[in-house]
Chains A and B, each alone.
Chain A
Amino acid sequence: MFGFEDPQIWLVYLLCILAALFSIVYGVTHWNKGDEDVSGEDKKWVEGEKKVSDEF
């Protein structure tokens, strides 16, 4: 397959493409899933992060 004889090579060539396809399909089908409200901890963390990066 793909001009390769060694199954370990054509298999991984295929797996790379399939893994990327899986990622794309997952990303598209979950595009609007997983939205979360901003919690108090989230806000506190962002304020802390700003302080840390300003000090840097």
Chain B
Amino acid sequence: MENMFMLTLIVIVYLFAIGYLGYYGYSKTKNALDYLVAGRSTHPFVMALSYGATFISTSAIVGFGGAAGMFGFGLLWLTFLNIAVGIIIAFLVFGKRTRKMGHNLDAHTFPELIGKRFNSYFIQGFSGAIIFIFMPLYAAAVLIGAARFIEATFPNYINFNVAILIYALIICAYVLAGGLKGVMYTDALQGAIMFLGMITLLVFTYIKLGGVVAAHQGLAALTPQVPPPLIAKGHLGWVHMPALGSALWWNLVSTIVLGVGIGVLAQPQLALRFMTVKSSKELNRAVGVGGLFILSMTGIAFVVGALSNVYFFNHPSFGKISLAVAGGNIDKIIPIYINSAMPTWFIYIFMLTLLSAAMSTSSSQFHSMGAGIGRDLYEKAILRSKHSQHTILITRLGILLGVVVTVFLGFKLPAGVIAVATAIFFGLCASVFLPTYIGALFWKGMTKTGAIASMLTGFLGSAFWLLFIHEKESAALGLCNLLFKKPTLASAPWTVVDPIVVILPISFVVAIVVSLFTKKLSGDHLKECFKHF
């Protein structure tokens, strides 16, 4: 439903507010040192909402919300991990140490933190390369989520491919302009609007469906409508977990819930955020607002995604479950639901905030890719910290290449891929980085060789698993078929078990065993790393 006058008005007001807050934030914090020393009056709500806006993107709301439309309420296990692991453990256990160690070692990227901690250019370069090569998968997930929403909002004007190009051009301009200066206040505005938007969405949904209990019971009554192919995979209805050990259960629990819920700890661009806070106090405060914010983002998206089945099934224009309404593409469920169930003014405001949140996530992704190839791989690992005039050029080319690959993936990836693409990247980061990151922060006995062995195990193990075992990817990638004339080398249940369940524990074991038998880092270096702890 298009209303150009209302859209124009909302866009102008929104841009004016963003522009004003950007200028206000920029003029208030002229440089980062001012911010550190004088900026202590920054309101913690502003700080925490800013965290939330960079944490959450179209991937979480559109992609995983849509996945809840298929899986049902079981996806809430991911919300629980998002809060328990992604906020409470990440901020309080990892955040405080990451901040101190990052400052002690003067590290400005995640690869630099673990590289300097283990005195290894290889670790920094290898990590940078992993981020540069695989981050486009996650960036494409965010891009597709944004494009799906634009497509559903303007069905008569913009198709999916055009929406991808429009969003990619906006993000290029945004990143080339260096991102918004003084971005914290604009992020906070986006966070506040998203918070209110999601609460409105939840209240509207429950009211439309007759209240909390009635809505849930209405969804339970739809159990006979589960399509036979999903029943065959273990679907027991949207208010039940899939059958224990079934393909759908492994997909939900190992790939979606554990992959993303645990993988968040080893997200390079999120770990970096901990270094930018001034003291543990800010992290303590951010836990409170962060927990509530994540509940209202992923929690509501998943509840609404699941309940969209009741809305669509009972609606005279649809009369089908969400998956059928979306033509089998789960990425379309949330955009179609919001465009159908919510008032026009809400759709436009929600779209703008969703796109802004996506932009802050995309921007940090492309910066990570550029830094990964320019600073981490080229300058630190290849040139061994020698300053080079080419670093900036390589960084910019890296960002450009990252955008091109991301857009290419946006066009080429199959339908309904947002949640899976995000989960693969998160799972890969966990298997490669998590044992080394934990060892870096908590175990002085972990050695450089142990860290390298663990990272290589995580990477090679995940690659092997995705190419030859996990059937969904191995069949699509085709190497297994080319070499062995079959889509996978394993049989059930391994063909549906995510690599994070197998490779991450192996990667941990390798880190511990190799560290016990290899040369320890010097006492002076460790003292420097753990200063002020």
Contacts and interface: CB of A to CB of B under 8 A. Distances in A.
B217 interface: yes
Contact of B370 (A4, A43, A56): A56
A43 B280 contact: no
A45 to B, nearest CB: 4
A15 B257 CA distance: 15
Interface residues of A, number: 45
B351 to A, nearest CB: 26
A4 B73 contact: yes
Contacts of B531: 41
A43 B532 contact: no
Nearest to B108: A52
A28 B371 CA distance: 37
A4 B218 CA distance: 10
Contacts of A44: 103, 106
Contacts of A16: 76, 79-80, 83, 295, 299
Interface string B67-94: 0000001101101100110011000100
A30 B284 contact: yes
A3 B212 contact: yes
Contacts, number: 161
A15 B80 contact: yes
Interface string A29-41: 0111111101101
B80 A6 contact: no
A8 B249 CA distance: 13
Contacts of A6: 239-241
B286 interface: yes
Contact of A50 (B32, B216, B371): B32
Nearest to A20: B295
Contacts of A41: 103-104, 106, 531-532
B280 A36 contact: yes
B279 A33 contact: no
A43 B76 contact: no
Contacts of B240: 5-6, 8-9
B288 A23 contact: yes
B327 to A, nearest CB: 27
Task: Say what secondary structure dominates the interface of chain A.
Answer: helix
B217 A26 contact: no
Interface string B499-531: 000000000000000000000000000000001
Contact of A38 (B37, B76, B286, B295): B37
A39 B37 CA distance: 11
Nearest to B216: A3
Q: Chain B CB within 10 Å — which of A27, A35, A41 has the most?
A: A27
Contacts of B276: 49
B284 A20 contact: no
Given A39-B103, A49-B108, A31 B239 contact: no
B191 to A, nearest CB: 15
Contacts of B73: 4, 9, 12-13
A5 B72 CA distance: 14
Given A9-B241, A34-B281, A56 B217 contact: no
B178 A56 contact: yes
A43 B33 contact: yes
Contact of B220 (A3, A25, A42): A3
Nearest to B237: A6
A39 B531 CA distance: 11
Contacts of A49: 32, 108, 275-276
Interface in B208-226: 212-217, 220
Contact of A3 (B215, B288, B295): B215
A13 B74 CA distance: 9
A43 B79 CA distance: 36
Contacts of B370: 56
B273 interface: no
Contact of B239 (A9, A30, A35, A43): A9
Contacts of B102: 45
B239 A45 contact: no
Given A13-B73, A41-B531, A42-B103, A23 B108 contact: no
B88 A23 contact: yes
Contacts of B44: 31
A9 B76 contact: yes
Interface in B156-177: none
Contact of B80 (A5, A19, A45): A19
Interface of B: 31-33, 35-37, 44, 73-74, 76-77, 79-80, 83-84, 87-88, 92, 96, 102-104, 106, 108, 178, 212-217, 220, 239-241, 275-276, 278-292, 294-295, 299, 367, 370-371, 375, 391-392, 395, 531-532
20 contacts: A5-B240, A6-B241, A9-B73, A9-B74, A16-B80, A16-B295, A19-B291, A20-B83, A20-B299, A23-B290, A23-B291, A26-B291, A30-B284, A34-B284, A36-B279, A36-B280, A36-B281, A38-B278, A49-B275, A50-B33
Given A2-B216, A34-B282, 19 more contacts: A9-B74, A9-B239, A12-B74, A19-B295, A20-B291, A22-B88, A23-B291, A24-B288, A27-B285, A34-B283, A35-B279, A39-B532, A41-B104, A41-B106, A41-B531, A47-B33, A48-B108, A53-B32, A56-B395
Interface of A: 2-6, 8-9, 12-13, 15-17, 19-28, 30-36, 38-39, 41-50, 52-53, 55-56
